[in-house]
Amino acid sequence: MADYITTYTGDHFDPTLPEAEHLHIEDIAHALSLICRGNGHVKTFFSVGSHCINCAKEAAARGYSDRLVLACLLHDASEAYLSDVPRPFKKHLPAYKDLEQNLLNVIYTKYLGSPLTEEEERRIKCIDDDMLYFDLLTLLNEPSDRPEPELHINLSYEVRSFEDVEQEYLHLFHMLYK
């Protein structure tokens, strides 16, 4: 049995020993456009790719640097190779969390030049948490105990084709990647 996955672009990638030369933004955009938020436990399909696009747009609307906007777009890129694991379950998987962080560091280094700083991670987590508030409310009709966060963008949860999400993801990436 091979120790790799075959990606959308036909490359062989070992997510446990990630090598930057085998990471392709086309694979990331394609896979994230097909992976459903909430492990599929939502009222209607909403992709991880759409979530990442929303995070990037919110970061831009908050006036964050292009680096941080791109980091928001990429913050779930590891899920293109490791799948989406819901937060309540992920906290019980320390080995998964280590693999995910290692893979994210390789992704960030390839596309941003370095891993994120603690402050960058904090800002991304804040945006991610703010989006989760609205995702839970809209996609599951589950209100949160926390106060409603202030967003600087209008969210849309309309069902979109994976092709549209993939193309928007790639478009944003190419606008930001220098």
Number of domains, the chain: 1
Closest CA to 160 of 33, 25, 6, 10: 33
pLDDT score for 171: 98
**Tokens matching residue 6:** 């075959």
Is the model's pLDDT at 89 over the cut of 90? no
CA distance 107 to 92: 24
**Tokens matching residue 173:** 């990436």
pLDDT score for 91: 87
pLDDT score for 86: 79
Collapse the DSSP code of 34 into the 3-class scheme (helix H, G, I; strand E, B; otherwise coil) and give the result: helix
Percent of the chain with pLDDT over 70: 99
Segment 94-108 mean pLDDT? 95
Asked whether the beta carbons of 106 and 11 are under 8 A apart, the reply is no
CATH number at residue 146: 1.10.3210.10
Q: Using one digit for the tens of pLDDT, what is the confidence trace for 69-78? A: 999 999 999 9
Contacts for 45 with CB less than 8 Å, ≥ 6 apart: 36, 159
| Confidence grade of residue 149 (pLDDT, cut at 50, 70, 90) | very high
Which residue do the tokens 């899920």 mark? 79
pLDDT score for 178: 80
Residue type, 46: F
pLDDT score for 1: 65
Asked whether the beta carbons of 50 and 163 are under 8 A apart, the reply is no
Q: What share of the chain is helix, strand, coil (3-state, %, to 5)?
A: 60, 5, 40
Q: Using one digit for the tens of pLDDT, what is the confidence trace for 154-172? A: 999 999 999 999 999 999 9
**Tokens matching residue 40:** 């599929």
Q: Which domain holds residue 35?
A: 5-176
Instruction: Fill in the DSSP letter of residue 12.
Output: E
Segment 75-104 mean pLDDT? 91
Is the model's pLDDT at 64 over the cut of 70? yes
Asked whether the beta carbons of 166 and 8 are under 8 A apart, the reply is no
Is the model's pLDDT at 60 over the cut of 90? yes
